[in-house]
Amino acid sequence: MKEIIERLVRLQEIGFELRAAEEERRRGPEALAAVDRAFETQREEIGGERLRYEALVQELHRLREERERTRRRLELAQQKLMQVSNQREYSAVLNEIDSGKAHMIELEQAIETRESEIEELKGPAAEADERIAAAREQAEAEKRRIEQRIEELAGVIEELQRQQQELRSAIPPAVVARFEAIARARGGVALAAIVNDACGECRMRVRPQVINLVRRGAEIQICDSCRRILYIAPDEAPAEAGKRGAETSGD
């Protein structure tokens, strides 16, 4: 019976691995689409930086022209000030000069802001094509990696199914049926390790005589509370402990 329990433990592990592999494969297309979406966002951002740079350069050009026009208007107004003949004209020209000066200050500030924004964007905008190409390359490499993994998973799933079949045929059919019935009823977990004299799944205490029976491997023992098949946890069976770690995948 001990050997059968060991096979059941392995069968359950394979079941978990199989479900994880199937889930990962199922998510493959979604993962590929996510890479595409991330690249599109990047491209829009990088392209957007360049468009903003170009718009800023045009805006700066327009502001400098307006500054030149305003400067000329101010000069003319100052000349006019010398020639006015009455008080009314004099204050009209003075007003013109005041608003012209205020506008010059606004323009200077706007020009300064654009200039520093342009300075900041100059590098990224100039490198935009290169950066988009690099991002595309990276996205394609990531997609190749995912596609490779999907292909790999097909093999992994096939191998796990083969092992599952092999194990099933090495366990009495009645035990397999019981195992599967419990798994169906208990969220896919048919086995429970005894940890610190308690069921490792539902945490209820396991009676000492039941623990003894499990240790002896006399016959299948189930948890009084969650009805799962009990087995000795690797911690409590040091000879078994080494076997598990080597099987976990690098992921």
Only one of the segments 8-16, 63-71, 150-158, 224-232 lies at the binding site for Zn ion (rule: CB under 5 A); that segment is: 224-232
CB of 17 to Zn ion, least distance (A): 23
At residue 222, what are phi and psi to the nearest 5 degrees? -115, 155
CB of 241 to Zn ion, least distance (A): 22
Per CB under 5 A, does 31 bind Zn ion?
Answer: no
Q: Which of 132, 211, 223, 232 binds Zn ion (CB under 5 A)?
A: 223
Rule CB under 5 A: which of 181-210 touch Zn ion?
Answer: 192, 199, 201-202
**Exposed e or buried b for every residue in 230-251, given b needs 16+ CB within 10 A?**
bbbebebeeeeeeeeeeeeeee
Per CB under 5 A, does 225 bind Zn ion?
Answer: yes
CB of 224 to Zn ion, least distance (A): 8
Note whether 187 and 227 are within 8 A (CB).
Answer: no
Note whether 47 and 158 are within 8 A (CB).
Answer: no
CA distances from 117 to 61, 129, 198, 210 (A): 14, 20, 67, 76
Only one of the segments 44-52, 71-79, 176-184, 215-223 lies at the binding site for Zn ion (rule: CB under 5 A); that segment is: 215-223
Note whether 81 and 94 are within 8 A (CB).
Answer: yes
Only one of the segments 86-94, 106-114, 137-145, 222-230 lies at the binding site for Zn ion (rule: CB under 5 A); that segment is: 222-230
Could you list the residues that contact Zn ion (CB under 5 A)?
A: 192, 199, 201-202, 223, 225-226
